[in-house]
Amino acid sequence: MKTGFFKSITFRVVITLLTTILIAELLAGLIWYQTNNAAKEESARHTIANITKAAADTYNYFQYLPVNYRHLILNQLREVGGTRFFISINHRYIEMDAVTDLSFTDWLTVFAAQQLNQQVGADRHVAVTITRREDIRLFNSGIKLAELPEIWTKYSLVLGELDLPIVVMQIKISEQEWFYIASVLPVPFSSLTSQFIDQRQLLFLAVASALLMFGTAWVLQREIRPIKSLAKAATLMGSPLTVAEIAEAGSNETRSAIHAFNKMNRRVKAYIRDREMLFSAISHDLKTPLACLKLRTEMLDDARTRQRFEKLLDEVDLMLKGALQCIRDTDIHEEPEWIDIQQILQGCADYHNRQQPRVTIYPAQPKPYLGKPIAVKRCIYNVIDNAVLYGDRVEVRVTDSADALHLRIRDHGPGIDHKLLEKVFEPYYRAGRKDDTGSGLGLTISRSIARSHGGDLKLRNHDEQGLEVELCFARDR
């Protein structure tokens, strides 16, 4: 059942649509990612360039001040407040934790250092770090910003109330002096990284895919229901040939197919009805003059002539009965029923094993088969009868599956010429029978019955000895 679902058109269409959606989403995500990433990079470059320019101007300003005035200016800046920079002159380089989980921070710090070097002099040692507000360290002691007096923290690093990254730039003035300047980077942390597909996109993709899949499956089920009815009717048409017309539903294409099938069904019914009438008329019209000829033959005086006429009339009678029997056996008038194949095989074996063992049925437990009981029984009996007649000893093996019921019937006779493997199915052909009985229609009828049940009947010479018949009956699922 699961295998059938995986092969169904619903599963294939849903998987195709899902694959198409995923590919489209990946392509759209790639285009969006490249565009968004480029825009973010350009914005980050522009912002850091402005900050480094302002920092370089501030550094150059302090460079031109007399040394005694530097700390005085720094104290005035801290008391007045309102600057976006935090500036100090330290005796050493201050280590601090850098942000490492954002994709832009590595190249952005390198870019900022390059910008600073261009503006303060390539001979200056420059260090740039992008950090978080809670990780920034100040002064020679490396004290954190939160540990400073409130008057400094409140007015230093403007926009500090927001959770924004901070860029710290340290420029070496001399062996004992480092110019320290920190500034808020007016870019949110989310703008310093770029994700290919974020959670919102994944959620949208999942919801859109689920809705599309359910909608597609619902539409397909509605469209496939008439097709299933059509397939079931076509299957039954091969057996009882009394199929009711199907209601025309579904899309225009499906309606057209059902309309064509109903039209074909009416034609087949008319053909079967005309054929029955034709053979009934033939049977009636031929049997009457045949009976008259037999009666006149009995009245002949010459015994030799009478025997010759009787033989010819018997042959004509046998051919007529065979033809009518062929029509009756291949014409479908039975209603399908559940058949115990093992019971049929055992009954056939008991019939042939009355005097000596000739038919061996290997143990098997096939499931009941839905078919026409009389037709299936006649088909199996015809094949086994032929095998017993030509091969004496017969072996029957049954293989059952969800798709079909297979019977392999092997005799131990001489087999037949490879060229005659298909010819023996022709009506009235007898390949070297031991007697003159029979009409040569047994295999023809058996193959017709097997094919009317969705299967087939095939012959092949066994590798060791004899002939092997493969009889197949399809199962309707």
The reported pLDDT for the residue numbered 406 is: 92
Reported as a single tens digit per residue, the pLDDT across 326-337 is 565 555 456 788
Architecture of domain 337-474: 2-Layer Sandwich (3.30)
Average pLDDT over residues 249-263: 78
Contacts of 315 (CB under 8 A, 6+ apart): none
Cα pseudo-dihedral 400, 402, 404, 406, rounded to 10: -10
pLDDT for res 1: 43
pLDDT (mean) for 289-302: 76
Residue boundaries of the structural domains of the chain: 11-192, 252-330, 337-474
Do 164 and 186 contact (CB within 8 A), yes or no?
yes
pLDDT at 16: 81
d(CA 48, CA 54): 10
**HSE-up of 335 (CA within 13 Å, CB side)?**
0
| Rounded CA separation 274/259 (Å) | 23
The per-residue pLDDT for range 197-237, each reduced to its tens digit, is 667 777 877 787 788 778 877 877 777 777 777 777 776 66
Give this prediction's pTM.
Answer: 0.44
pLDDT reading at 144 higher than 50: yes
Phi and psi dihedrals of 72, rounded to 5?
-65, -45
pLDDT given at position 398: 92
The pLDDT value recorded for residue 139 is: 83
- Residue 300 or 235, more confident: 300
| Choice among 37-46, 69-78, 121-130, 166-175 with the minimum mean pLDDT | 69-78
pLDDT of 471: 93
Q: Which residues contact 10 (CB under 8 A, 6 or more apart)?
A: 217, 220, 221, 224
pLDDT given at position 184: 83
Q: Is the pLDDT of residue 79 over 70?
A: no
> Which DSSP symbol is given to 187?
S
Confidence category of residue 183, pLDDT binned at 50, 70, 90: confident
CA distance 56 to 50: 10
pLDDT tens column, 373-405: 888 888 899 899 888 888 878 999 999 888 889
CA angle 221, 226, 231 (to 5 degrees): 110
| Model confidence at 456: pLDDT above 80 | yes
pLDDT at residue 439, rounded to an integer: 59
Q: Which residue has the tokens 């540990």?
A: 147
